Amino acid sequence: MDETLQAIFSQFDGKQEEIIPILQSVQNAYTYLPEESMQKIARFTRVPESRVYGVATFYAQFRFTPTGRNIVSVCRGTACHVRGAPAILEETARLVGLEGEGTTEDLEYTVETVACIGCCALAPCLTINDEVHGNLNKKMVRKLMEAGGK
């Protein structure tokens, strides 16, 4: 962990206004914010650890648990909602054995919702590992997930 964090810190000056970009870089490296990293970020930016937690918990982007190897993000934007996003989420979660959003125990899948992917013309849509799939119905979700979700 130390080396990865050092490499990240070396790109910054340790100023308070860098907390968000630092958190983003750490999460990019680990897929989440490990507990140990929080204290080190606090030291590096010379603020109390509570402040780092305060910032990290405020923003939806940050998470404190590891994600699955495949991340399925179901869009819950307005256009997607009126074209059936709730059913898409339900089906996606059901197919990997989850009740709703969450990560499977084997860390194979994380199913999450996002506010809006921004391709509303393709509603309802989801992304699997950053690749967008649009104009979905339940049947297509099944096909997608059967194809390995990759």
Partner 1 sequence: MGAEKRTLLVCRGTGCESNKSPAIQAALTGELGASDVEVKFTGCHGMCQQGPIVIVEPEGTFYSHVKEKDAPTIADSLLHTSQPVEKLYYKDPATDQQISSYHDIPFYSKQTRLVLRNCGHINPEEISDYVDAGGYQGLEKALFELAPEEIVDSVKRSGLRGRGGGGFSTGTKWQFCQQADGDVKYVVCNADEGDPGAFMDRSVLEGDPHAVLEGMTIAARAIGARQGYIYCRAEYPLAIKRLQVAIAQARERGYLGEDILGSGFDFDIEIFQGAGAFVCGEETALMISIEGNRGMPRIRPPYPAQSGLYGKPTLLNNVKTYANISLIVRNGADWFAGIGTEKSKGTAVFALTGKIANSGLIEVPMGATPRQIIYEIGGGILNGKKFKAVQTGGPSGGCLPESFLDVPVDYDSLIEAGSMMGSGGMVVLDEDTCMVDVARYFLDFTEKESCGKCVPCRLGTKQMLTILQDIVEGRGRPEDIETLEALGKSIKVGSLCGLGQTAPNPVLSTLRYFRDEYEAHVFENRCPAKSCKQFISYHILDTCVGCQLCAKNCSSDAIIGGHKEQHWIDQEKCHKCGVCYEVCPPKVFSIEIRTGESEAA
Can you give the binding site for partner 1, defined by CB under 8 A?
15-21, 23-24, 45, 54-55, 58-62, 76-83, 87, 90-91, 94, 114-123, 125, 130-134, 137-139
CB-side neighbour CA atoms (13 Å) of 10: 6
As measured in angstroms, the least distance from the Cβ of 10 to partner 1 is 19
Q: How far apart are CA 61 and CA 5, in angstroms?
A: 19
Identity of the residue, 51 or 69, whose beta carbon is nearer to partner 1 in the bound complex: 51
Residue partners of 146: CB distance under 8 A and separation at least 6: none
Toward partner 1, which CB reaches closer, 18 or 69?
18
To the nearest whole angstrom, how small is the minimum distance from the Cβ of residue 89 to partner 1?
12
Strands 109-114 and 70-75: parallel
Torsion of CA 95, 86, 110, 21, to 10 degrees: 170
Q: CB 70 → partner 1: shortest distance, Å? A: 17
7 vs 115, which CB is nearer to partner 1?
115
Nearer to partner 1, 69 or 133 (CB): 133
Query: At its nearest, how many Å lie between partner 1 and the CB of residue 68?
Result: 19
Return the exposure string of 45-65: e unless at least 16 CB atoms fall within 10 Å of the residue's CB, then b.
Answer: beeeeeebbebbeeeeebeee
Report the residue number, 2 or 79, with the smaller CB distance to partner 1: 79
CB of 135 to partner 1, least distance (A): 9
